[in-house]
Amino acid sequence: MSVTVGELAALLGVPLEGDATVSIHGVAPLNRAGPGELGFLADPRYLPALRETGASAVILRAEHAAECPAPARLIADDPYLCYARAVRALFPEPPAPPGVHPSAVVGQGCTVPDSVTLGPGVVLGDGVVLGERVRIDAGCYVGDGVRIGADSWLKSRVVIQHDVIIGQRCVIDSGTVIGSDGFGYANDHGTWLKIPQLGTVRIGDDVEIGANTTVDRGALEDTVIGDGVKLDNQIQVAHNVQIGEHTAIAGCTGIAGSAKIGRHCAIGGGVGVVGHLEITDNVVITGMTFVAHPIDRPGSYSSGVPMQETARWRRNYARFRQLDDIARRLARLEKRLLADDEEV
Amino acid sequence: MSVTVGELAALLGVPLEGDATVSIHGVAPLNRAGPGELGFLADPRYLPALRETGASAVILRAEHAAECPAPARLIADDPYLCYARAVRALFPEPPAPPGVHPSAVVGQGCTVPDSVTLGPGVVLGDGVVLGERVRIDAGCYVGDGVRIGADSWLKSRVVIQHDVIIGQRCVIDSGTVIGSDGFGYANDHGTWLKIPQLGTVRIGDDVEIGANTTVDRGALEDTVIGDGVKLDNQIQVAHNVQIGEHTAIAGCTGIAGSAKIGRHCAIGGGVGVVGHLEITDNVVITGMTFVAHPIDRPGSYSSGVPMQETARWRRNYARFRQLDDIARRLARLEKRLLADDEEV
Amino acid sequence: MSVTVGELAALLGVPLEGDATVSIHGVAPLNRAGPGELGFLADPRYLPALRETGASAVILRAEHAAECPAPARLIADDPYLCYARAVRALFPEPPAPPGVHPSAVVGQGCTVPDSVTLGPGVVLGDGVVLGERVRIDAGCYVGDGVRIGADSWLKSRVVIQHDVIIGQRCVIDSGTVIGSDGFGYANDHGTWLKIPQLGTVRIGDDVEIGANTTVDRGALEDTVIGDGVKLDNQIQVAHNVQIGEHTAIAGCTGIAGSAKIGRHCAIGGGVGVVGHLEITDNVVITGMTFVAHPIDRPGSYSSGVPMQETARWRRNYARFRQLDDIARRLARLEKRLLADDEEV
């Protein structure tokens, strides 16, 4: 797709400086962009790259426009957001041709509109209900009674187990499993007795889930993922978890059973959230943090331990093992000196 | 399925108080249960919910029966275990209709009893031996020479690589891979030379494994998972690992090569176990702990670092980096004061 | 396969002591090896097992040969590397019979040499280019425009999304997903706007990737994995990451977006690497370390916190939360004592 900068500015609804007739056909980082390419400056650390960019147009804040050598400048308060919109306009996802591949297996009593695309080897169980333009790529398995809203897209080899409900415009990437059994057992004199997991998973609209993530079905009630939630790859969401609207969670994070996460949270990678606790709205959790207690105030929370050279780490860590003792010894010294003071 | 409370009490072998004719068709949490539903009280924190429950019957300990407004009370020493049995009785897994889907591919020399169910797109290699009533759902791959015991169930898109042995009544959830190659390399002047992984994986009876978990085959000897082990989702079990009977491991835990874990252990989520160490029986490891040393005494072990507000965390962590220095300075002060004492 | 020790020594290019006519058909650990089996001694901790081994031949350093009761000794400076070569010679991977299974689906304009093996249910998109002897096992999905070099092997149920480039002699284990979308969103007044991920993944030669690992495609530029890299299971590689040649990474590690990892690094399991930082060549990262800062010097780095008994851990951790305060109090004491000194 190719557009003029003038067309792009109109599409994005932002002011344009410079030559409106410049043609744009691609995007690139400022330091690599050439003729016909669009760049952006969000972080002032890249100002040196801006000053030497070969891009034909750059999205930036007004304060940086004077330093931009490109023939056209698009002025935006939030250049990264404006850039996201520009990329989406320049590179729209081509619609999949509708139709059911002959190797797909469709169960009984399914609702499959003509606008739906089912790839090779797709298997739908019985009673599956698909919305308009749902796209299910090669090798996905969709269990009995699943409902998927219009314009949602399962990439290849996704598994949706029985009775899961997925909203509209969702995207689920390859290898992800939704509706697997929760890890629920009662201990029976040393052996573990499985508790049937009777709930399901309810996923809202505009949810995006990465690759090889797992979302367990609820034990009694449902696991619930709110509208607009974004989950990265390799995340584990246990049974009965609730994730509030528009929360984003980075890869390799694990959320234990019945945890309730608020809305508009941003959770880093490798985080662990223990079960049966609540995190309020607008909470930021940095990478590799262990959320072992509820969080009832918005803000940023951490416990990821940054690395040191191994030898130094070991010395410090050895002291950590004595930390309670160190604190007691310090208190004794303080008391002793206080006593000295009083003697004086 | 619907039963009277009297029938349920007889089935569970527990005493009943109240009206034995009450009919039960479902289960629900105490605070949401209504007519025809069964609840349970295991944790006294939920006593307020008990006092207001609309459940028709509740499983609880004798000491709480007087506070229960439900028309029927089932008295159990371990209400959660009794509840698990009740749910299993009320919601039995319906047997899969036996048969081989026409799209399934069965290799040469396989043993596939008539009672087996093979779903669409299932692929069996050569020489696979399946027990009675084995159920293999859509899209599973089972490699050459695999043996699976009676009544075991592979959910959709499971991969079992060649020669793996799985016991009876096992359940393996979607996306899990058993028998992948161990991570074994010799360093050859800076490049890595793969060591063929000649062992396999042996899984006992009544083992349940969650979704997207991986269990590597052994290098020389086998990776072994004992009877009754329960593994959650997204767990990594490396080559030659041994996991003792009836140990349960929560999601996102990684176990490095040749680690040997005892029986009846409970290992939390996000735990890391280093290779070539041994953990004795009856050990509890809490979430996000790093097991860097052997454990030869039963008990509970931890190193998960609970989160703090990020600003405070950073201040404390900055001091941690000086901890060895802090300890030395403290020792100097103590010595100095001791010297003062001696002077006196 | 069976060879004489003399043939094996010639093949490996190492000196032989003892009976060259001994026949070898297998390998085993020293403590279990019997007639016809080959063992090795790399770590002197296993000297007791050497002294009692029933192996017919042992690979070891010259200094240990005198203690070896086996009829034949193969002398190597690096016994483990020599053993790796021996195992590869004794147990070569049998070539897959070429051919396309009738249930495979091949898109338009694909290059599929006669020497290629496509298993049951394999799906190739359009324009896929496969090198000689590429082997793609049951149920893999290979997207449009993917190129895979000669002698590479995808095990069952691998997903390679569109336009990914894979070199020669690569092995990718089951359940792994290459080319999933990066986790790229711009925040639009509280909701997340997906940024199309326009790059791809470029994988060099001799790369091996374990099971259920994920490698995201680049946002603008490509995600790049260098020649000879070895990735274990359950690893997450985010968009735009670069991993240098011959680096090995153990399971459950997550690497955030745009991180650049050097060559010949060895990264332990459960490690987290934050985005947009650079790690130089020849760096070792031990297990469960959080790489939160760039590393510009070769060496070993750590922050994995080894476990303690839970009760003791809690006491120490409680003090950690006061560590900044402890350090300040210590400084005050030091100042006070210094003041005393000056008064004297």
CATH of the domain at C280: 2.160.10.10
Could you say which of A46, A69, A90 is where a domain stops? A90
- Does B122 share its domain with B83? no
How does the average pLDDT of chain B come out, rounded?
96
> Given the structure tokens 């195992």, which residue do they identify?
C87
- Cβ C157 vs Cβ C142: under 8 Å: no
Do the Cβ atoms of C216 and A208 come within 8 Å? no
Nearest chain B alpha carbon to C317: B305
Q: Is C234 on the interface with B (CB under 8 A)?
A: yes
Touching B (3+ Cβ pairs <8 A), the chains are A, C
Query: Closest chain B residue to A270 measured between Cα atoms?
Result: B270
**Both B122 and B8 in a single domain?**
no
Q: Is C318 on the interface with A (CB under 8 A)?
A: yes
- Summarize the confidence of residues C127-151 as an average pLDDT: 98
A177 touches chain B (CB under 8 A): yes
Residue A338 has pLDDT above 80, yes or no: no
Nearest to B161 among C174, C313, C321 (CB): C174
Is the per-residue pLDDT at C232 higher than 70? yes
Task: Determine contact: A304 vs chain C, CB below 8 A.
Answer: yes
Per-residue confidence at A343, pLDDT binned at 50, 70, 90?
Answer: low
Q: Which residues pair with B99 in a beta bridge?
A: B117
Q: How far is B341 from chain C (nearest CA, A)?
A: 14
- Does residue B225 contact residue A189 with C-beta atoms inside 8 Å? no
Q: Do C287 and B286 touch (CB under 8 A)?
A: no
Measured in angstroms, the CA of A214 and the nearest CA of chain B are apart by 7
Give residue-wise pLDDT tens across range B117-144: 999 999 999 999 999 999 999 999 999 9
Question: Of the candidates B194, B254, B301, which has its C-beta nearest C307's C-beta?
Answer: B301
Report the residue count for chain A. 344
- For chains A and B, count residue pairs whose Cβ atoms are closer than 8 Å: 218
CB pairs under 8 A between A and C: 219
Q: Which of B105, B303, B329 sits opposite C308 (nearest CB)?
A: B303
How far A78 CA lies from chain C's nearest CA (Å)? 9
Q: Residues with Cβ < 8 Å from A151, sequence gap 6 or more? A: A131, A132, A133, A134, A168, A169
Q: Give C334's pLDDT tier (boundaries 50, 70, 90).
A: confident
Residue B208 shares a structural domain with residue B335: no
A85 touches chain C (CB under 8 A): yes
Confidence of residue B183 (pLDDT cuts 50, 70, 90): very high
Where in the sequence is the domain holding A215, given as residue range(s)? 99-301
**Are the CB atoms for B112 and B124 separated by under 8 Å?**
yes
Task: Report pLDDT for B253.
Answer: 98
Q: Indicate yes or no: CB of A304 within 8 angstroms of CB of C326.
A: no
Angle, nearest 10°, between helix axes B323-343 and A310-320? 50
CB contact under 8 A, A210 and C139: no
Number of domains in chain A: 3
CB contacts, 8 Å: A119 with chain C: 123
In the DSSP assignment, the letter for residue A273 is E
Q: Is the pLDDT of residue A157 over 60?
A: yes
Give the distance from residue B259's alpha carbon to the nearest chain C alpha carbon, in angstroms. 14
- Identify whether residues C138 and C285 lie together within a single domain: yes
The pLDDT of residue B344 is: 54
- Give residue C2's pLDDT band: very low, low, confident or very high (50, 70, 90): confident
Determine the pLDDT at residue A122.
98
Handedness of CA B63, B64, B66, B71 (dihedral sign): negative
pLDDT band at A136 (very low <50, low <70, confident <90, very high): very high
Whole-number Å distance between alpha carbons of C299 and C109:
49
Catalytic residues of B: 239
3-state secondary structure of C188: strand
* pLDDT higher than threshold 60 for residue A179: yes
Please check whether residues C16 and C119 belong to one and the same domain. no
Question: What ipTM did this prediction achieve?
Answer: 0.96
Chain A residues in contact with C145 by the CB 8 A cut-off are none
Q: Are strands B260-261 and B201-203 parallel, antiparallel or unpaired?
A: unpaired
What are the backbone dihedrals phi and psi of residue C87, each rounded to the nearest 5 degrees, phi first? -65, -40
Q: Indicate whether C104 and C221 sit together in one domain.
A: yes
Q: Which of C73, C90, C107 is the last residue of a domain?
A: C90
Range with lowest mean pLDDT among A56-70, A323-337, B273-287, C94-108:
A323-337
Say if the Cβ atoms of B180 and C157 lie within 8 Å: no
**Nearest-by-CA chain C residue for B294:** C307
Neighbouring chains to C with at least 3 Cβ pairs closer than 8 Å: A, B
* A292: nearest CB among B121, B232, B304: B304
- pLDDT band per the 50, 70, 90 thresholds, residue C344: low
The residue with greater pLDDT, B320 or C168, is C168
Neighbours of C67 (CB within 10 A): 14
Residue with tokens 């995600």: C223
Checking if the pLDDT of B343 tops 90, the result is no
Q: Which residues numbered 100-129 in B keep a CB inside 8 Å of some CB on A? A: 101, 103, 119-121
Report phi then psi at C328, rounded to 5. -65, -40
Distance in angstroms (rounded) separating the CA atoms of residues C25 and C87:
10
Chain A nearest C-alpha distance from B263 (Å): 10
Same domain as B273, residue B173: yes
Given A90, A124, A152, the domain boundary residue is A90
Q: What is the pLDDT of residues A98-115, one digit of tens each?
A: 999 999 999 999 999 999
> Quick one: pLDDT at residue B132?
98
Q: What is the pLDDT of residue A344?
A: 53
- B156 part of contact set with chain C, CB < 8 Å: no
Instruction: Over range B283-287, report the average pLDDT.
Output: 98
Examine the domain organization and report whether C146 and C271 are in the same domain.
yes
The CATH number that applies at residue B51 is 3.40.1390.10
What pLDDT does residue C53 have?
97
Report the candidate in C230, C220, C209 with the shortest Cα–Cα distance to residue C257: C220
Residue of A25, A239, A246, A264 marked active site: A239
Q: Closest by alpha carbon to C155, among B203, B166, B239, B197? A: B197
In whole angstroms, give the CA distance from residue A31 to residue B101.
Answer: 56
Residue A107 three-state SS: coil
Q: Contact at 8 Å (CB) between C151 and C133?
A: yes
Tell me which of A252, A263, A289, A309 to substitute to probe the interface with C (most C C-beta atoms closer than 10 Å).
A252
Q: What percent of chain A has pLDDT over 90?
A: 90
The residue of A319, A328, A335, A338 whose CB has the most chain B CBs within 10 angstroms, and thus the best one to mutate to test that interface, is: A319
Q: Does A315 touch chain B (CB under 8 A)?
A: yes
Percent of chain C with pLDDT over 70: 99
Mean pLDDT estimate for chain A: 96
DSSP letters, A151-192, are T-EE-TT-EE-TT-EE-TT-EE-TT-EEEEPP--EEEETTEE
Q: Residue C155: list chain B partners with CB under 8 A.
A: 159, 161, 180
List the structure tokens of C212.
């259920």
- Asked if A220 lies within 8 A of B78 by C-beta distance, the reply is no
Q: Which residues contact B325 (CB under 8 A, 6 or more apart)?
A: none
Q: How far is C84 from chain B (nearest CA, A)?
A: 5
Determine, for residues B192 and C84 on separate chains, whether the beta-carbon distance falls below 8 Å. no
Start-to-end CA span in chain B (Å): 86
Q: Which single residue is written with the structure tokens 């990776």?
A: B223
pLDDT band per the 50, 70, 90 thresholds, residue B40? very high
Average the pLDDT over B185-203 and give the result. Answer: 97
Query: Tens of pLDDT along C260-290?
Result: 999 999 999 999 999 999 999 999 999 999 9
Distance from CA of B55 to the nearest CA of C (A): 39
- Residue C53 and residue C81 share a domain: yes
Residues of B with Cβ-Cβ distance to A286 under 8 angstroms: 310
CA distances from B142 to B126, B145, C136 (A): 9, 9, 15
Of the pLDDT bands very low, low, confident and very high (cuts 50, 70, 90), residue A321 is confident
Query: Is the pTM of the predicted complex or chain greater than 0.95?
Result: yes
Whether A331 is in a domain gets the answer yes
User: Which of B195-199, C203-207, C241-245, C330-334 is the least confident region?
Assistant: C330-334
Site from B122, B159, B162 to mutate, C interface, most C CB atoms within 10 angstroms? B159
Residue A133 shares a structural domain with residue A86:
no
C181 touches chain A (CB under 8 A): yes
Chain C residues lying within 8 Å of B213, measured CB to CB: 212
Co-location of C156 and C24 in the same domain: no
The pLDDT assigned to C337 comes to 80
**How far B270 CA lies from chain A's nearest CA (Å)?**
7
Cβ-based neighbours of A63, under 8 Å, separated by 6 or more: none
Option in B175, B269, B324 nearest A272 (CB): B269
**Of the ranges B154-158, B216-220, B337-341, C164-168, which one carries the lowest mean pLDDT score?**
B337-341
Identify which of A248, A301, A291 has the alpha carbon closest to the alpha carbon of residue A271: A291
pLDDT at C186: 97
In this model, does residue C195 exceed pLDDT 90? yes
A28 part of contact set with chain C, CB < 8 Å: yes
A210 touching C, CB under 8 A?
A: yes
The pLDDT tens digits for C68-80 are 999 999 999 999 9
* Partners of residue C80 in chain B, C-beta under 8 Å: 186
Angstrom CA distances, B6 to B14, B19, B40, B91, stand at: 10, 8, 16, 17
C interface mutation test: which of B156, B252, B290 has the most C CBs within 10 A?
Answer: B290
> Model confidence at B164, in pLDDT bands (50, 70, 90)?
very high
3-class secondary structure, C154: strand
Q: Is C239 a catalytic residue?
A: yes
B and C: number of Cβ contacts within 8 A: 217
Shared domain for A331 and A291, answered yes or no, is no
B292 pLDDT tier (thresholds 50, 70, 90): very high
Active-site choice (C25, C189, C239, C293): C239
- CA distance to partner chain B, nearest, from residue A240 (Å): 12
A340 confidence band (pLDDT: 50, 70, 90) = confident
